[in-house]
Amino acid sequence: MPRPLEGVRILAIEQFGAGPFGSLHLADLGAEVIKIEDPKTGGDVSRTVPPYVVDGDSLYFESFNRNKKSIALDLAVPAGRAVFSDLVVGADAIYSNLRGDVPAALGLRYADVAHLNPAIVCCSLSGFGMSGPRMREPGYDYIVQGMAGWMDVTGEPDGPPTKSGLSLVDFSTGYVAALALTSGLLAARRDGVGMDCDVSLFDTAISMLSYLGVWHLNEGYQPQRISRSAHPSLVPFGTFEAADGWLVIACPKDKFWHRLAGALGRPDLAADDRFRTFADRHRNANELSTIIDSILRTRQRADWLTLLRDAGVPVGEVNSVEQALADPQTVARGMIVETEHPTFGTMSTIASPVRVGSTPPDVRRAPFLGEHTEALLTELLNYDRNRIDEAARGGAFGAVSTA
């Protein structure tokens, strides 16, 4: 069976994390993602991100660029732009993650290319979008986590503002861009007319304030950091310490609270007036947490995991990254995939969680810079040798040798 996005061709002008993360999932779903990399700069800058870098490739780059193709193309010279225009004619989408004003400067908007391909979808992922007072500012995950209020609500109450341990703004925006692009493709195939998709890290981060933002907008709620990553309204719901490690216990429904009380050997707590309802438990959260802590510290984490799971209480261990990747659920779900690499050998990467249909993706390593240039020019664009040489002399594929 063909993959869901087979037959979709995407020209990707992308670098670092957010953009490549989004197109990675499109590639895994079968789209032909062609990375257009600037030969003047050595291509996607993430090829050189340490600590694991060998011969113009890195494990960072491999993390985001599986199943893609690469063409070395200089869009700043007329010869390179001409090749790009030929690629646009046969493409379904242009996907970029550049500063918000750069798509206009490089001619990557729908208005710039519609004469070549009226049905093309042009998706821009940027720090702050293609409009607004910050459109010309570079935006990065860490900066946006601060600006969007995330760091103000993360960490211990008496500690400094804290970012997430992962680049969640980058990754979330990559998903948003993939959703925007596929939505645009559906509309273009229905109507025969393409469009722009304007996605930004900042918009995504603001949208993910979700109920905290709605509470503030409507009731003036001022979010505060809560000790031990506890939920702002549901109790108990947070991290708790057993004798030898940490657990996350969640009671988002009264039935889970009753089950937890029974599993802890204290069914009386569920009937206690201090803890009977959500509101009661929220009001007396510190007192309840102290009681639960004192009980949990009497036994090993593995014991509590068995007891609570058997009782039907939502619970999980706080794992290291090593433990998470070795978890039986990770293995059973096929979340680790292997590819062969000339330098790194047999290399493991993280599978896409986007599962559509039953056909697993073919997994290929990330491309070397310009690895598919010749094949794309001859097989896709039907260039002959004279046409390729002419483009090369114009600097389309990098600096022209004077030797």
Active site residues: 170
C-alpha separations of 63 from 40, 86, 315, 364 in Å: 23, 30, 30, 12
Residue at 242: amino acid letter? A
Rg (C-alpha) for the chain, rounded Å, is: 26
Per the document, the length of the chain is: 403
Rounded CA separation 101/180 (Å)? 19
Residue at 244: amino acid letter? D
Rounded CA separation 159/143 (Å)? 19
Listed residue (309, 199, 196, 197) closest to 247, CA to CA: 309
Say if residue 236 is preceded by a cis peptide, omega within 30 of 0: yes
Tokens standing for residue 345 = 């050998």
Rounded CA separation 364/341 (Å)? 9
**DSSP-derived secondary structure for 207-249:** HTTHHHHHHHHHH-------GGG--SS-SSEEEEE-SSSEEEE
Listed residue (62, 82, 64, 85) closest to 11, CA to CA: 85
Q: Look-up: residue for tokens 């004279």?
A: 386
Asked if residue 85 lies in contact with residue 2, where contact means CB atoms within 8 angstroms, the answer is no
Q: Look-up: residue for tokens 């996907």?
A: 95
Listed residue (74, 11, 68, 67) closest to 391, CA to CA: 74
Listed residue (282, 239, 281, 243) closest to 261, CA to CA: 281
Say if residue 78 is preceded by a cis peptide, omega within 30 of 0: no
Tokens standing for residue 145 = 């986590």
